[in-house]
Amino acid sequence: MSVIAELTIPGDDFGLGRTLEVDSGILIELESMVPMGENAIPFFWVYNSQRDTFTALLDDQEFIDDIREIDALDGKTLYALEWKAETDKLFKGIQQQDAQVLSATGTPHRWEFELRFPTHEALSEFQRYCVHEDIALNVARIYNPTRPDGGPWFGLTPVQRETLLLAIDRGYYAIPRQCTTLELADELGVSDQAVTERLRRAIATLVSNTIQFSSFDM
């Protein structure tokens, strides 16, 4: 049975957090992590930051191979980051337990994660791993997304729910299709790729927490 954990971690306790610890005034929100070969490329929004200053500071970070600006809207900028993920002990532990990053929001000093683990045992192993690697993990809440009282929207994040509901309302899943991901992206103020990734992950999450779970339970 899958389990979702909401937790906080100091920014200087893991590689990506230290890498992005460049400006005390910024807020970072993970949009998605797209597999690219052996690595996962993070797409993330950066709020309240001067774009040129932010990218210039990251150019000197040893864990970063490349950073690209994807989109900009209303004081926030979407970046794609190519980095040496294998050097980050936190994400290594997440990968070892087959966990999924549902959401991540960070400041230079603290990050809040929402992770889904395949079992309670996997979560426990992850906690032991973090202790061994000196990662100061603080678990704020644990819940089972398949229970009616276990958390909202069957494990969907707020942005996934918003995007999926808009897609249904605008007829994206109608036959014939009444809108495109480009039109949804314009309305949401994000990139076409971000909309596609949100919908993909939203559907995968709903299947995992509803019909797929039910089939295992019979």
Q: Are residues 116 and 213 in the same domain?
A: no
**Residue 131 host element (H or E):** helix 120-132
Q: Are residues 64 and 108 in the same domain?
A: yes
Q: Are residues 20 and 116 in the same domain?
A: yes
Beta bridge partners of 27: 47
**Distance of alpha carbon 122 from alpha carbon 191, whole angstroms:** 34
Answer with the one of 113, 143, 173 that is the final residue of a domain.
143
Four-CA torsion 138, 144, 148, 154, nearest 10 degrees: 90
Q: Is the pTM of this model over 0.85?
A: no
Q: Are residues 34 and 99 in the same domain?
A: yes
Backbone angles phi, psi at 133, to 5 degrees: -95, 10
Give the distance from CA 108 to its chain's centroid: 17
- pLDDT of residue 148 exceeding 50, the answer is no
Asked if 43 contacts 16 with a C-beta cutoff of 8 angstroms, the reply is no
Q: Are residues 102 and 24 in the same domain?
A: yes
Q: Are residues 85 and 190 in the same domain?
A: no
Q: Are residues 161 and 113 in the same domain?
A: no
Beta bridge partners of 117: 3
Answer with the one of 143, 168, 195 that is the final residue of a domain.
143
Answer with the one of 124, 143, 162 that is the final residue of a domain.
143
Q: Are residues 132 and 205 in the same domain?
A: no
Say what the pLDDT of residue 126 is.
95
Q: What is the CATH number of the domain that holds 174?
A: 1.10.10
Q: Are residues 105 and 38 in the same domain?
A: yes
Q: Are residues 117 and 195 in the same domain?
A: no
Confidence band of 122 (pLDDT split at 50, 70, 90): very high
**Distance of alpha carbon 192 from alpha carbon 178, whole angstroms:** 16
Give the distance from CA 187 to its chain's centroid: 21
Q: Are residues 77 and 180 in the same domain?
A: no
Q: Are residues 174 and 112 in the same domain?
A: no
Look at the chain and report how many structural domains it folds into. Answer: 2
- pLDDT of residue 11 exceeding 70, the answer is yes
**Distance of alpha carbon 193 from alpha carbon 51, whole angstroms:** 21
Enclosing domain of residue 132: 3-143
Give the distance from CA 81 to its chain's centroid: 13
Q: What number is the average pLDDT over the span 121-149?
A: 83
Confidence band of 69 (pLDDT split at 50, 70, 90): confident
Q: What number is the average pLDDT over the span 33-49?
A: 69
